[in-house]
Amino acid sequence: MIVTKAIKLEGLRFIQFNGLRKFNEDEPRDEKGEWTSGGVAVLFEPSAGYIQGLRSDLRARAQELGTFKTSDEVFALGYRESDPVTFAMAEHVEKATDRDTMLKVMGSQLTWGTGHEVAAGEWLGAQALGASKEMSRTTAHAIKSSGIVMSPKLEAGYRARTAFAQAWIEKTYGKEITVYRGIKGKQSKGIEESGNHDVALGVRGLASFSVSRFAASSFAGKTGKVLTATIKPSDVFSTNEIGLKNVVRYGQDSGELVVMNSGKTRAVKW
């Protein structure tokens, strides 16, 4: 169980989040100050002709396979409207690996938040980058039965996607971001409303936070609690603000940041 430091703040709970530092401020940058990943600069605009070339290739694949056999990522990148940043992310991952690996990694993002059975790739990708293996039994079973093999090339794809997301988050929000998480049920009941005491808050290897307090409140409901945390871009594994999760959204997940934990513990003060 991960234990985090919490203090009361304007009716909310502040967590000093214990995340990873895989892509921190000391990572190499190019002459423009942009983060680099494997020697490749993180650019937020795709190169000339990339979108047209990618769409042409993916539409040809879709026509060959047929509608019912076309994967979500091929359809999303090949046909749906998207912002240039999403294509820049795809190009960044492709440069670090190849097109087929890029499609797997980009498509994997779509599985987050749609059920434990289909998000196995996201958990394995985060674990390859050092995230804790702490998870629910349902998720562990899904990973075991998924048959996904984390090859060096696939790991490189997740690493490139994460590096891109972290660079974009730093550029968008700065070096520190205030995020919120709504909790309810047993986890919420374990946090008393008043007093100054120790409390253990379980946070698994991956946990969804939001830059929107309203979105977190909707998850907490009337009986839950809203936590607030200050994190760094290097804590983040993925975000639905860019990538294919931005193209295909599910429910009230606006401003979601999926945060990694290394599994270390800290004392909680409530």
Let me know if residue 270 belongs to a domain: no
Burial pattern 85-119, b for ≥16 Cβ within 10 A else e, equals bbbbbbbbbbbbbeeebbbbbbbbbbbbbeebeeb
For residues 258 and 112, the answer to whether their CB atoms sit within 8 Å is yes
| DSSP state at residue 1 | -
Which secondary structure element, helix H or strand E, spans residue 120, and what is its range? helix 120-128
Number of folded domains that form the chain: 1
Phi, psi of 210 (to 5 degrees): -140, 145
For residues 38 and 23, the answer to whether their CB atoms sit within 8 Å is no
Let me know if residue 225 belongs to a domain: yes
pTM of structure: 0.79
* Distance (Å, whole) CA 87 – CA 246: 12
Helix (H, G, I), strand (E, B) or coil at 13: strand
Burial pattern 59-71, b for ≥16 Cβ within 10 A else e, equals bebbeeeeeeebb
Which secondary structure element, helix H or strand E, spans residue 209, and what is its range? strand 206-210
* Distance (Å, whole) CA 216 – CA 218: 5
Let me know if residue 88 belongs to a domain: yes
* Distance (Å, whole) CA 42 – CA 206: 24
- The predicted pLDDT at position 201 comes to 55
First-to-final CA distance of the chain: 17
Let me know if residue 266 belongs to a domain: no
Let me know if residue 269 belongs to a domain: no
CA triple 110-29-234, angle to 5 deg:
45
* Distance (Å, whole) CA 3 – CA 18: 8
Structural domain harbouring 22: 5-260
Let me know if residue 145 belongs to a domain: yes
- The predicted pLDDT at position 97 comes to 96
Let me know if residue 66 belongs to a domain: yes
* Distance (Å, whole) CA 33 – CA 29: 5
Rounded mean pLDDT for each run of 10 residues along the chain, 270 residues in total: 35 37 48 49 87 94 82 86 88 96 92 70 91 83 86 95 94 90 74 52 76 85 79 91 72 75 44
Let me know if residue 114 belongs to a domain: yes
